[in-house]
């Protein structure tokens, strides 16, 4: 998984790192927990960036 970001579009920080975490999302049908989700996160503002693989994870 390669980063498409040279810097964070939210804060401009250049420290964007790949992380693997369990995230919980609120949906119309309730909360959904997604384990071991890989995505990029800004080290400064903690904005999260999801690629195609993360967006399609079931």
Q: Residue 38, Cα to own-chain centre: how many angstroms? A: 7
Instruction: Give the per-residue pLDDT at 14.
Output: 92
Per-block average pLDDT, block size 10, for the chain (58 residues)? 76 94 95 94 94 66
Domain interval for residue 33: 1-58
C-alpha–C-alpha distance, residues 10 and 20, integer Å: 21
Name the domain count of the chain.
1
CATH number for position 20: 3.10.20.860
Q: What is the pLDDT of residue 51?
A: 77
- CA dihedral over 15, 12, 48, 26, signed as positive or negative: positive
Q: What is the pLDDT of residue 12?
A: 94
Q: Read out DSSP for 2-42? A: ----SS-TTT--S-EEEEEEEEEEEETTEEEEEEEEEEEEE
Specify the pTM: 0.73
Tell me, what's the pLDDT at 2? 56
pLDDT given at position 57: 58
């Amino acid at each position: 998984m390669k980063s498409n970001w040279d810097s964070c579009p939210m804060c401009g920080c250049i420290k964007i790192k790949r992380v693997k975490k369990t995230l919980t999302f609120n949906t119309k049908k309730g909360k959904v927990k997604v384990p071991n989700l890989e995505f990029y996160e800004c080290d400064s503002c903690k904005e999260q960036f999801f690629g195609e693989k993360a967006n399609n994870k079931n």
